[in-house]
Amino acid sequence: MTERIVLAYSGGLDTSVAIGWIADATGAEVIAVAVDVGQGGEDLDVIRQRALDCGAVEAYVADARDEFANEYCMPALKANALYHDKYPLVSALSRPVIVKHIVKAAREFGATTMAHGCTGKGNDQVRFEVGIASLAPELKCIAPVRDLALTRDKAIDYAERNNLPIVTTKKNPFSIDQNVWGRAVETGFLEDIWNAPTKDVYDYTDDPSFPPVPDEVIIRFERGIPVAIDGQSVTPLQAIVEMNRRAGAHGIGRIDIVEDRLVGIKSREIYEAPGAIALIEAHREMENVTLEREQARYKRVIGEKWTELVYDGMWSSPLKKSLDAFIESTQEYVTGEIRMVLHGGTAVVTGRRSDVGLYDFNLATYDEGDTFDQSAARGYIEIYGLAAKQAAAREARVLGL
């Protein structure tokens, strides 16, 4: 029986060329695996046909938009996941769900090897291969770009020589990865980190310098998940799509960053994540109202570690699963409404309300109705500062002050 290889297929240049390239180099049959995580543009039937036209013997396609939103984006939202305090893990979040479907397809079609289109410089090679090792350690992994000398120039030449039905050419050199959580753009003139991005780099967001009138939005959360926008019930996917539309119209979520890749190099990336950035800002403020002080402080530490693990391709690691449990426990009372104004590249919270919040107007007010016992403060300060006072006194004795 001819060996079969499942290929993580995006429909773009590298993976379209990889179908024939792998077949030529290994003699194996290639099964293309395309997973819709809300990248838009083309429907699954078009992607399926392109894979077949490029030489795949089978094409497995899956509509995973709701799955991606529910099981991957929402945990990231609960964690307020921003790598380098900026990047909302656009690509990192999609790789585990793609891996899940690659494993499913490999078992369905009897494949022994999986392939991906990542380079040896990138993070995604790690995310794919560590993910496969966690879910299906029996599968071997190959990377045509990394292992079979498929450079970008060779890929373009191969595509043109074989009349492959792809969009990317030498005139359009950007490498783009996108899904419903955001969009990532790299390569081309962006590799010179002095070059400013041009307007053609962006697609999910309009120019924030020329915004429409301010847009006020009310987002309701229940246990950390957005469930309604302006009083209309929404699923997680619908919430992301709607906020992509409304925040994107104001240029919110444009990110230009030099980030530290897992493999040890620095890389310049342009991201657009209007919905993700607006929702994370709203969720953070909902937590400010509902989380206890020490719990909130420690969650920031846990959230940063969770973000690093996901960025580093450790979605299925024991530590990440343990952090999941902690983060989920913090969301028990993250319920209420946030009012935001979207305008000119910013999402500004202007109101909050929660029936289970910890904000007490009568404790906070300085006006009539104040119930805070200010006489207790003197004793509290005395006890709170006692250890520091004792240490300072010892230092004075030792130094003879």
- Catalytic (active-site) positions: 14, 95, 124, 175
Q: Kindly compute the dihedral angle of the four CA atoms of residues 186, 189, 193, 199, in this order, to the nearest 10 degrees.
A: -80
Q: Kindly compute the dihedral angle of the four CA atoms of residues 236, 217, 201, 259, in this order, to the nearest 10 degrees.
A: -70
Contact yes or no for 281/328 (Cβ under 8 A): no
Distance of CA 334 to the CA centre of its chain: 21
Q: Write the DSSP symbol of residue 351.
A: E
Tell me the C-alpha distance between 242 and 227, whole Å. Answer: 12
Confirm or deny that 271 is annotated as ligand binding: yes
Q: In what order do the strands lie in the sheet containing 4-8?
A: 58-63, 29-36, 4-8, 113-115, 140-142
Confirm or deny that 12 is annotated as ligand binding: yes
Confirm or deny that 87 is annotated as ligand binding: yes
Confirm or deny that 9 is annotated as ligand binding: yes
Residue 296, φ and ψ in degrees, nearest 5: -65, -40
Find tokens 């890389």 and name the residue.
267
Confirm or deny that 329 is annotated as ligand binding: no
Contact yes or no for 61/34 (Cβ under 8 A): yes
What is the identity of the amino acid at 19?
Answer: I
Confirm or deny that 123 is annotated as ligand binding: yes
Confirm or deny that 259 is annotated as ligand binding: yes
Q: Write the DSSP symbol of residue 189.
A: G
Confirm or deny that 11 is annotated as ligand binding: yes
Contact yes or no for 280/252 (Cβ under 8 A): no
Confirm or deny that 127 is annotated as ligand binding: yes
- Cα separations in angstroms, 89 against 166, 241, 251: 27, 17, 19
Helix (H, G, I), strand (E, B) or coil at 263: coil
217: enclosing H helix or E strand: strand 215-222
Contact yes or no for 274/244 (Cβ under 8 A): yes
Confirm or deny that 303 is annotated as ligand binding: no
Confirm or deny that 117 is annotated as ligand binding: yes
- Cα separations in angstroms, 241 against 67, 234, 379: 14, 10, 52
Confirm or deny that 15 is annotated as ligand binding: yes
Tell me the C-alpha distance between 213 and 206, whole Å. Answer: 13
Confirm or deny that 317 is annotated as ligand binding: no
Confirm or deny that 223 is annotated as ligand binding: no
Confirm or deny that 262 is annotated as ligand binding: no
Helices marked H in 54-175 — which ranges? 65-68, 74-79, 90-109, 124-135, 144-147, 152-161
Confirm or deny that 124 is annotated as ligand binding: yes
Q: Which residues are annotated as a binding site for ATP?
A: 8-16, 117
Q: Which residues are annotated as a binding site for L-citrulline?
A: 87, 123, 127, 175, 259, 271
Q: Which residues are annotated as a binding site for L-aspartate?
A: 119, 123-124
Q: Which residues are annotated as a binding site?
A: 8-16, 87, 117, 119, 123-124, 127, 175, 259, 271
